[in-house]
Amino acid sequence: SGHDVKSMGLRCFAQTAAALFGVLIVVLWAVHPNQYDYLRTTRVMTSRYASPLHSRGFPTSSVGFNRYVRVGALPMSGIPGITPIPSPPDTGLSFPIVKPDPHDTYDLMMGRRRGSRYSGDNKNNKPPDVNDEDGLNIVITGAAGRTGKLLAQDLWGMDEGVRQVRCVVHSAKSQSELNSDGLYDTHIADVYKNPKALEDPMDEADVLVILTSAMPKIKTRSLIRLAFAKLFRRKAARPKFRFKQTPEQVDWIGQKNQIDEAKRAGVKHVILVSSMGGSDPSNMLNKIGDGNILLWKRKAERYLISSGLNYTIIHPGGLTDKPGDFEPILGVDDTLLKRPTRSISRRDLVEVILQAIFEPAAIGKAFDVIASETPRDDSEYDWDAFFASAGHCDYSTPDVESILAIGKVLASRAAVAA
């Protein structure tokens, strides 16, 4: 009947509109630079930030009575409705009163501070020329990424063991996103196109932490096709991806450039954060954008091992944005991929990187790491024993060029046979 046709038309229109709206939301989320940065919490502390080096015997301040308040993406100061911090329980301890710092924000999803610290000689939150005269000069490349930001925040907040932190980012846009408060010593360098820009931040550096990686972007058209396939209940292919700079350019040539510059500058220790799955050429990550990203990462790892530099290579499992603070689990050669849960939070990965910077036992190791479900007590956890027990991944498998050449031969044989 006419009524049924009209009802069907309205239903079809509503479904189409809903699908297009969903596509719009997904596209906006995919292109937004801070899609994971929308939750914040502010922490009011009654003492300075306790340094992660407490387990290494450095003097640190005791953390006093704390209170956490959810305040969206805003700092605490000037927000109506926030009540004063309540008095701590009577424990016989005294707690100094500290004025809340408007820059002292925490990532609710990440779990730690974003970059402010309480220090008598740093009241204006300006990046000091020197934190600790006897500390390390540390360079972080890929510092504007989610993991890089967390690492920069933690290192910047340390009073002992760190002399300077230099953050290398890809572009002026990344620099403004990372350094909106003017807290960090940032340098712009395209590690693929302009490796000479690495000379300044690498000068007199002690440790280099490589966090650069090619980033896939979803092709918008593939999302639209996927939405319409869902709408009309048709079998849909997976979304397609592209790279602005390919894994060969970033994860191989770009990382090789960084290793070469580190060697020229006399860097004492290079920590390369890669990914699990590199031992399997058929891993699904290699199919994203036809980039073979894990194969190119593996080639850079081989280059670092043969460079003669002190190195630590870390293969984290799937990265999550959970708060973390769980004990890590070690593995080699992707054996951890057989486990039902094979992920690690960025917060826990950053803790592994931090400890690798200061633990000599981490040097000369190439290992996989995921998080367990056991909470970690940093005051008692033995990081020296952790790194001492780490194995070394096997790099005797064919390199990326050999694997790709074999793949082409097999493909041509299949075409001839067909």
Just list the catalytic residues.
275
Instruction: Point out which residues pair with 343 in neighbouring strands.
Output: 318
Whether 270 and 206 have beta carbons less than 8 Å apart is answered as no
CA-based Rg of the chain, rounded to a whole angstrom? 24
- Structure tokens that stand for 271 in this block: 């920590």
Q: Tell me the C-alpha to C-alpha distance, in Å, between residue 339 and each of 5, 107, 273, 367, 369.
A: 53, 29, 21, 16, 12
Nearest-CA neighbor of 122 among 134, 131, 114, 113?
Answer: 131
Q: How far is it, in rounded angstroms, from Cα 408 to Cα 395?
A: 22
User: Would you tell me the crossing angle of helices 220-231 and 2-31 to the nearest 10 degrees?
Assistant: 150
The SS3 assignment for 191 reads: coil
What DSSP character marks residue 302?
H
Q: How far is it, in rounded angstroms, from Cα 158 to Cα 58?
A: 11
Burial of 291 (0-12, 13-18, 19+ CB in 10 A): buried
Whether 288 and 243 have beta carbons less than 8 Å apart is answered as no
* DSSP H or E segment with residue 365: strand 365-375
Cα angle 290, 295, 300 (rounded to 5 degrees) comes to: 130
Largest CA distance in the chain: 86
Whether 151 and 145 have beta carbons less than 8 Å apart is answered as no
Residue by residue, DSSP assigns 212-250 as ----EEE-HHHHHHHHHHHHTT---PPPPEEESS-HIII
Task: Name the residue type at position 242.
Answer: R
Instruction: Point out which residues pair with 319 in neighbouring strands.
Output: 344
Nearest-CA neighbor of 140 among 257, 273, 338, 11?
Answer: 273
Whether 262 and 208 have beta carbons less than 8 Å apart is answered as yes
Please name the residue that has the structure tokens 């199919």.
287
